[in-house]
Structure 1
Amino acid sequence: MQKVPTVYDVAELAGVSIATVSRVLRKPHEVADATRDRVNAAVLDLGYVPSGSARSLAARRSGAIGLCLPDFDGIDEVSGLAPVEFSDGRVSTVLDLPEDVELGDHLYISEVMLGTEIEAWQHGMAVTIAVARGSRGSEIFDNLAGRVDGIVTLARTIPDKQLAHIARRVPVVVLAGPRSDDEYDHITTDNAEGMRVMTSHVLEEHGVTDLAFVGGPADSPDDDARFRGFCQALRAAGLPAPATPVARGDFTRAQGRSIGRRLLAEGRVPRALVCSNDQTALGVLDALTSAGRRVPEDVIVTGFDGIDASEVSRPRLTTVYQPMRDLGRAAVDTLLHRLRDSQIPPQTRTLPVKVLLRGSCGCLPPESV
C-alpha cells in the first residue's frame, strides 16, 4: 500500500517549516506568494490531504454539524434486501422498496437540508446527516453526537430522553416544533396562523361552509398547529370545529391519493379539502381528477408548504408558503451563535408564512391556472 503523505513530507519537499505549511493551509493570505505557491505545488505533487481528526484535536471542534431527520423516504428495515448481480459476476444487495414508496415525496425536508448545507458552507462547516431508520436509530444518533459540534433535528425525531442526553454533550436546535419544557433553541414557522388565514379565505371569499381537514401524522407538531389554525377559523365563522381531521396520512403524495380514493368511495368528499401539506394535497388532487371530479368547480383543494410541484400541478395548488430553506439556514445560524456563547438564554425564532392563491381554490381563471 502506498505511503500516505504527511505534513512533514510537504514541508521537506517545499523546503519550509511545518508551521509554514500549516499557515499556508489555514491562513494563506498571511504567507508570501512565492512561499505559498511552493507549498501548494508540494501538496498537489504529493497528493497531501490535511488530517481532519488532527485539526479537531487542536481546535477542540470537529467543524461539522449533525442533521438528524426522520425516516422521510419510507425505507425501513422491514423492506428487506434484494440480491443484484453485476456484469462481472459480483453479487450485492439493494433495498427492496415497497411499490408505493416515492423517494421524492418529502421535498420539504430536501429544502430544509439544502438551507442547512448552504449556511454551514458559508461558515466553513460540514453537515453530517443521520436518519432515524429502524432499530439502530438511537445508536446512530449517539455516534453522531460524538462526531459533531452541534445537532439540528426535526421535532419528535429523537426520543425526548435521548435528546436530553445528547444535549448534555453538544448544543441542540429543534426544527418545526413549539417549545415545550426544554432548554433547546427552537426554529419554527407560523403554522397555526398560516392555516387559519387559508381556511378563512375559503370560508369568506368562496362562501364554503362544508370543508374538512386532511391531516398528517398524529405526532407531528406542525400538523397539530395547522389543525388548530383550521379549527380557529371555523369557530370564528360560527361553525363547529371537528375533534379530529377527516383523515390522516404521512405527508406523502401516495397517502394523499389513498385518502382521496377512500373519501370518494365512502361518499364523504366535502366542498373543500384543506390539506396539512402540499404532497398530501397533490395526492388528493390526483385521486379527484382521476375520478372525474373537477377542481375547483366540484371540490376546492388547498395545501401547505409551497413546494415547487405545487406550481406545476393542474390546476396549480393554492397553498401556504413556508420558507423551508430559511428554516435550515436559521437553524445553523442559531447553532453557531450557541457555540460562540453557550450562556445565552434559549432562543425561539418563528419565521413568517404567506398564502399563495392559485387555481385549486378558484381564485384564478382557467387560462391562468
Structure 2
Amino acid sequence: MRRATVYDVAERAGVSIATVSFTYRQPNRVRESTRRKVLAAARELDYIPSANARGLAKGRTGVLGLYSFDLLLEHPLGQGNPASDVGLKSDVDSDLDGAEPNIRAYPLYVDEVQRGFELECWHQGQAVLLSSSDDGKRGESITDLAGRVDGLALFSWGESPEALKRLAKTIPVVMLSQSKGDLPVMYLSFDNESGMNRIVDHLVDVHGARRIVFIGTLDFPEVGVRLDIVKRRVHKRGLPACRPIDAVLDHRVLYQALAHVVREDKLPDALVCANDQMALSVMDVLLDLGIRVPRDVIVTGVDGILAGRFATPALTTVQLYMERLGRLAADSLAERDGQPWKEPRSAMAPARLVVRESCGCHGQAV
C-alpha cells in the first residue's frame, strides 16, 4: 500500500501543503481549529511526517553525531576474544553459560561520555547518530557522518589538520579530550592540571613517595598532557625527574617493561598510570611478577571507571566527570543550531582525587 504524503493530508483536510507543513514545524502559525483538522486527517491516513523533509525545509536535520574510535569494547583491552578462533556461535553460546558482564570492558570512559551525550540530546529534543570505523576508513566515515548531522563530536581525528578545518567550516565540531588547538572547533577536556597535581601531592605528602614513574601510551594527546603536568609537579616538589614508560595496553608488553624494571631493581615508589585501564593492567602484571600493591609499589589511575572501584586492591584515581563532558558536548552543539564556530573555543569538566587501597589509603574524595 502506498505511503500517505503531505499532499494526501492537504487534500483530505482541505488546506494547502504549506499549512500541513506549518502544523508540524510551526504550529503557532496555524489556527487551532485548522491544526486539529490537519492532525485528524493525518491520523486517518496514517501519515508520518518525513524527518528528512522537515530538515530540508529548515536547513537542519535535528540530529547530532558522535564519532568514536571505540563505541563498543567486547573484551578488556590487551585480552583477545577467547572465542574468536572458533566463530561467533561459540562466543554467543559462552555468554549463555552464566558468565557475568565484564566491568573491565564496560562501562569505560567512552561509554560514560556517550551516555552523557545521549542524555543531553534527549533533553534537548535532538536525535543522535553514532558511528565508528577502523583506521583505514576513518576519514571517509567521519565525512559521511558529518553530512547527516547538525553538529559532530569527535573522540579522535586521524586525518590532517586541513581536513578537520574544512569539516569545521560546514558544521560545528567538538573535539573531546583535547584541551586546546588553533582550529575553529570547540575543545573539551578535563581539569587535568588540578587532578594530576593532586595525585602527585598526595603521593608525596601522605605516602612519602620520591621516585614516581608515569606509564601510558604517549601517542594520545591527553596522555601527553597528563605526563607533562606530572613532570612539572614532580620537579616543583624537588623530586628526581619523572621518567615515563611508553607502553600500550597489552599484557605481554607491560610484562616485559615492568619485568625489566624489577630485574634492574629500579622499582619506583609509585606508578602513576595515564588511565584506569592501564592501571588495572599494571596491577595484573605486578601480581604475576610477585610485586604487592601497595606494599611494594603504589599504583594510581585516571578516569574513575567502575572497574577500578571493585579491583583488588581498589584503585586510587583521578575521578573525571565523564558524563558531564558528554552533556557539555551535546549542549554546545545544540546551541550552535548547525552554525560552525569561527574561532577556537574551549571548556573544561572538573576532576577530583579519590584515594583507595592501591595507594594504601581507605576510600575518600580529596
TM-score by length of 2: 0.79
Aligned partner of 1:223 in structure 2 is: 223
What is the CA distance between 1:224 and its match in structure 2?
0.8
State the partner residue of 1:353. Answer: 351
Given the alignment of the two structures, is residue 149 of structure 1 paired with residue 150 of structure 2, yes or no? yes
Q: Which residue of 2 aligns with 1:48?
A: 47
Task: Report the CA distance between 1:332 and its aligned residue.
Answer: 2.0
The separation in 2 between residues aligned to 1:85 and 1:186, in whole angstroms, is 39
SS in 2 for 1:49: coil
Distance in 2 of aligned mates of 1:238 and 1:113? 40
Matched-pair contact (CA < 8 Å) for 1:192–1:227? no
Task: Provide the rounded CA distance (Å) in 2 between the counterparts of 1:232 and 1:39.
Answer: 67
Partner of 1:122 in structure 2?
123
CA distance in 2, matches of 1:145, 1:355: 37
SS at match of 2:344: coil
Retained in 1: the 8 A contact 2:185–2:343? no
Question: Which residue number in structure 2 is paired with residue 168 of structure 1?
Answer: 169
Q: Which amino acid aligns with 2:239?
A: L
Partner SS, residue 245 of structure 1? strand
> Conserved in 1, the CA contact under 8 Å of 2:188 and 2:346?
yes
Describe the superposition over 1:27-54 as per-residue Cα deviations: whole angstroms up to 9, x where unpaired.
6688788877776565556443221221
Deviations 1:104-146 (A, max 9, x none): 2671111111111122222221222222413222122222222
What amino acid maps onto 1:52 in structure 2? A
Residue equivalent to 1:134: 135
Over the residues paired in the alignment, what is the CA RMSD in angstroms?
3.4
Equivalent residue for 1:95?
A: none
Counterpart check, 1:316 vs 2:314: yes
> For the structure 1 residues 106 and 162, does the alpha-carbon distance in structure 2 shift closer, same or farther, using more than 3 Å as the test?
farther
In structure 1, the partner of 2:247 is 248
Q: Match of 2:256?
A: 262
Structure 2: where are the runs of 5+ without partners? 75-80, 90-102
Structure 2: how far apart are the matches of 1:5 and 1:269? 72
**Match of 1:298?**
296
2:181 counterpart of 1:180:
yes
The Cα of 1:73 is off from its aligned counterpart by: 5.3
Relative to 1, partners in 2 of residues 1:223 and 1:31: Cα closer, same or farther, differing over 3 Å?
Answer: same
DSSP-derived class of the 1:227 partner: helix
Aligned to 1:281: 279
Report the secondary structure of 1:304's partner residue. strand
| Residue equivalent to 1:195 | 196
Aligned to 2:100: none
Q: Which protein has greater RCO, CA pairs closer than 8 Å, 6+ apart? A: 2
2:154 match: secondary structure:
strand
Secondary structure in structure 1 of the residue aligned to 2:337: helix
Q: Give the 3 Å change call, closer, same or farther, for CA 50–357 of structure 1 in structure 2.
A: same
Partner Cα distance (1:85, 1:113) in 2? 26
**2:5 matched to which residue of 1?**
6
Q: Equivalents in 2 of 1:294, 1:261: separation in Å?
A: 15
- Alpha-carbon distance change, 264 to 151 in structure 1, aligned in 2, over 3 angstroms: closer
1:175-234 alpha-carbon deviations (Å, 9 max, x no partner): 211322322221111213311210221122101223311112x23121011111211221
Query: Could you tell me how far 1:362 is from its partner in structure 2?
Result: 0.9
CA distance in 1, matches of 2:126, 2:12: 30
- 8 Å contact kept, 2:247–2:254: no
Encode CA deviations 1:311-358: one digit per residue, 9 max, x unaligned: 221221110011111111112222233337767753211222100111
In structure 1, the gaps of 5 or more residues are 87-101
Check whether the contact 1:70–1:132 (CA below 8 A) recurs between aligned residues.
Answer: yes
Q: Identify the residue that residue 98 of structure 2 maps to in structure 1.
A: none
**Counterpart among 331, 334, 337 of residue 333 in structure 1:** 331
Deviation, structure 1 residue 270: 2.9
Amino acid at match of 1:261: Y
Partner amino acid, structure 1, of 2:118: E
- What letter is aligned with 1:58? A
Provide Cα deviations, 1:269-292, integer angstroms capped at 9, x if missing partner.
433211100111111222333554
The 10-residue stretch of structure 1 (102-111 or 344-353) with the greater mean CA deviation from structure 2: 102-111
Corresponding residue SS for 1:143: helix
Question: Does the 8 Å CA contact 1:151/1:171 hold for their aligned counterparts?
Answer: yes
- TM-score, with length taken from structure 1: 0.79
Query: What is the aligned residue count?
Result: 339
